[in-house]
Amino acid sequence: MTITVLGIDPGYERCGFAVVQGERSPQLLTGGVITTSAGQPLPERIAEVAADITHLLELYQPDAMGVEGLYFARNTTTALHVAAVRGVLLYLGQRRGCLLYEPAPSEVKKSFTGNGQATKPEMMRMARLTYATDTITDDAADAVAVAHTVWYRLQNRVA
């Protein structure tokens, strides 16, 4: 059975996304970063991210969506803003009928690299090696890892 997963590394300044699909092994269909302007009010930035994710949901019609969990942040305001984005993204996935997963950052890192404390460069290197591409940026690499983790979780559930 072919499984399609949209993985998201949530953010309001930079929101990474990736779509993987496959029956026996996942293939990367797309990945990138949604960026918003620092001069925009937060509601406009959230709306921009939501519109782009809605487009991806309509275009790829994923079976599941993974939104990386929020890790402890030193800046409370930033954490609250990212949490607001996460809430909207989870709502969009629920409305679309996706199975929803919220893997913790350490779970994603461990699943993808074997090291729950992997650095951004290590995540990017693994994403580029795993999917044979050199165009993955650091925010997109985290989203690739989320999609990859959720795809394998579903594959093991189906198998």
Cα separation of 103 and 80, whole Å? Answer: 18
Full-model pTM? 0.95
Task: Report the pLDDT value the prediction gives residue 77, as an integer from 0 to 100.
Answer: 85
Closest CA to 67 of 154, 5, 22, 156: 5
Mean pLDDT of the chain: 94
Identify the H or E element spanning 67.
strand 64-67
Q: Which two tokens stand for residue 93?
A: 């996935």
Task: Report the pLDDT value the prediction gives residue 78, as an integer from 0 to 100.
Answer: 86
pLDDT at 159 over 60: no
Closest CA to 151 of 17, 40, 6: 6
Q: Residue 33 in contact with residue 15, Cβ under 8 Å?
A: yes
Taking only the tens place, the pLDDT of each residue in 55-84 is 999 999 999 999 999 876 677 888 899 999
SS (H, E, C) 69-119: CCCCCCCHHHHHHHHHHHHHHHHHHHHHCCEEECCCHHHHHHHHHCCCCCC
pLDDT class for 157, splitting at 50, 70, 90?
confident
Active centre residues (catalytic): 9, 68, 139
**Mean of the pLDDT values across residues 115-144?**
92
